[in-house]
Amino acid sequence: MKIYEGYKYVDGGVCAAAGFRANGINCGLNPDKNKPDICIIVSDTPCRSAAVYTQNKVKGAPIIVTKRHLEKTGGISRAVIANSKNANTCNADGEEKAERMCGLLASKLGIPADEVIVASTGVIGQILNIKPIEDNMDRLFAGLSSTGNESAARAIMTTDTVKKEVAVEFEINGRICHVGGMAKGSGMIHPNMATTLNFITTDITIAQKQLQSALSEITKITYNCLSVDKDTSTNDMVCVLANGKAGTEEITGGQEYEIFKKALYIVMSEMTKMLAKDGEGATKMIECSCMSAPSQDTAIIVAKSVVCSPLFKCAVFGEDANWGRILCAVGYAPAEFDINKVDVDIASKNGSVSVCRGGFGVEFSEDEAKKVLEADEIYVNIRLNQGECEAKAWGCDLTYDYVKINGDYRS
């Protein structure tokens, strides 16, 4: 992971921030008893909360319920409950079941159900069996602990091969603060003003409005710049809970706000890269930087277009320096710019190769290019040479295993 001055990576994930406990167990939604399938995250005290959601018109019932809850409470929540294996989406009884999940946890905490955030991930369009959740709520709640972050992170995994957790420690006016998170991937990832399932906790004190602004701003340049397969999920959500346990003054702006936003950026961008790296069937992570663009939006659009190209993704899998496909994807990116100024380099820990200058190909050594592409993290660097803005996007190669995993996902 990249080193950021003033920020220290720490263990603990969603439990790194003071006053948060978590737990994940197998309740039986997943027949594999070794695989946790439900988790909860609980704060000792009420939290200011913010969230962003999928823009898909088909919204999972948990999305609808969480949105309603946060609107009702004015952004106050105490806890999260999330399950894998079933997305609880496109079912006539979906909202009722999602409310029931919140109610079960709320009654253990003695709080209104509105103060619970709910999320589900898994197969769309199959009725959620609520009984295993009801039957195991006591055990799930009893297991809450300040080291339960790992089991919680594992409980939201679907086709993910590794759990995703990041946490950082930093100081605001002498107080030790934390931002930590957990995320799940790894297919149906093409966020649009939202993202895959992501839960973030922090012990700073911050006004709800600023918390929402920071989350929306950082989502735009992290999760929203991630694509595994161009499919925008029905259940995407990022939420952040701030419980104030670090004892900072309430942040409403200024330098403190910037320090927090940077922490959020570190956590969310690291998790974005983890998600890209663990994309379904992926063998290589692709990071595309678009520089000297006329606007940040143009840079984002161009960088995303490259990491989304199925043909380029296949070429990366095959370690074939078919750079024409990069320029092709730059060319069909829906933004206004002069293609004849564009430079392209392909790089990795093994070196860097210039493949295009001013929109035309330049000679390069295929051997060197092949060596560059043998690495497991591939960097595509694009300079539009017509502005000062830049952005990054993340993706992965397209492999046999992606097809295999998704040819028979439901069984």
What is the set of active-site residues? Answer: 195
Question: Which range in 134-142, 159-167, 205-213, 329-337 contacts a second copy by CB under 8 A?
Answer: 329-337
Contact with a second copy (CB under 8 A) among 18, 41, 128, 315 = 315
Footprint on residues 330-359 left by a second copy (CB under 8 A): 330-333, 337, 339, 355-356, 359
Rounded (10°) angle between helices 61-73 and 94-109: 50
Question: Using CB under 8 A, which of the segments 2-10, 74-82, 320-328, 369-377 binds a second copy?
Answer: 320-328
Closest to a second copy by CB, 127 vs 142, is 127
State whether the Cα torsion 125-131-136-137 is positive or negative. positive
Q: Does 400 bind a second copy (CB under 8 A)?
A: yes
Nearer to a second copy, 73 or 406 (CB): 406
CA–CA gap between residue 352 and residue 371 (Å, rounded): 9
Using rule CB under 8 A, residue 408 touches a second copy: yes
From candidates 19, 112, 324, 387, binder to a second copy by CB under 8 A: 324
Nearer Cβ to a second copy (212/399)? 399
353 phi-psi bin (left φ>0, alpha ψ -120 to 50, beta other): beta
327 binds a second copy (CB under 8 A): yes
Kindly identify the residues of this chain, within the stretch 253-292, that bind a second copy according to CB under 8 A: none
Q: What is the rounded distance in angstroms from the CA atom of residue 399 to the CA atom of residue 381? A: 23
Q: Judged by CB under 8 A, which stretch of 143-151, 246-254, 288-296, 399-407 contacts a second copy?
A: 399-407
For the record, the structure tokens of 156 come out as: 């939201």
As beta bridge partners, residue 182 has 165, 199
Residues 346 and 320: beta-carbon distance below 8 Å? no
Total residues interacting with a second copy, rule: CB under 8 A: 64
Residue 309 CA to residue 46 CA, distance in Å, equals: 44
208 binds a second copy (CB under 8 A): no
Please tell me whether residue 328 binds a second copy under the rule CB under 8 A: yes
Classify 88 in phi/psi space as left (phi over 0), alpha (psi -120 to 50) or beta.
Answer: left
Which of the residues 174 through 193 are near a second copy (CB under 8 A)? 187-188, 192
Q: Of the two residues 199 and 323, which places its CB atom closer to a second copy in the complex?
A: 323
Output 258 or 376, the one with its CB closest to a second copy.
Answer: 376
Contacts of 233 (CB under 8 A, 6+ apart): 54, 56, 188, 189, 190, 191, 196
Report whether 183 contacts 224 (CB < 8 A): no
Using rule CB under 8 A, residue 203 touches a second copy = no
Q: Which of the ranges 23-31, 154-162, 268-276, 316-324 carries the binding residues for a second copy, by CB under 8 A? A: 316-324
Does 323 interact with a second copy (rule: CB under 8 A)?
yes
Amino acid, res. 257: Y
CB of 5 or CB of 336, closer to a second copy: 336
Stretch of 18-26, 104-112, 256-264, 321-329 contacting a second copy, by CB under 8 A: 321-329
Q: Are 352 and 369 in contact (CB under 8 A)?
A: no
110 scored as a contact of a second copy (CB under 8 A): no
What distances in angstroms separate CA 233 from CA 56, 102, 195, 225, 323, one per listed residue? Answer: 7, 22, 8, 15, 30
The binding track of 219-258 with respect to a second copy, each residue x by CB under 8 A or -, is ----------xxxxxx------------------------
Determine how β-strand 175-183 pairs with β-strand 198-202: antiparallel
Distance of alpha carbon 174 from the chain centroid: 30
Shortest Å distance, C-beta 310 to a second copy: 4
According to the binding rule CB under 8 A, does residue 77 interact with a second copy? Answer: no
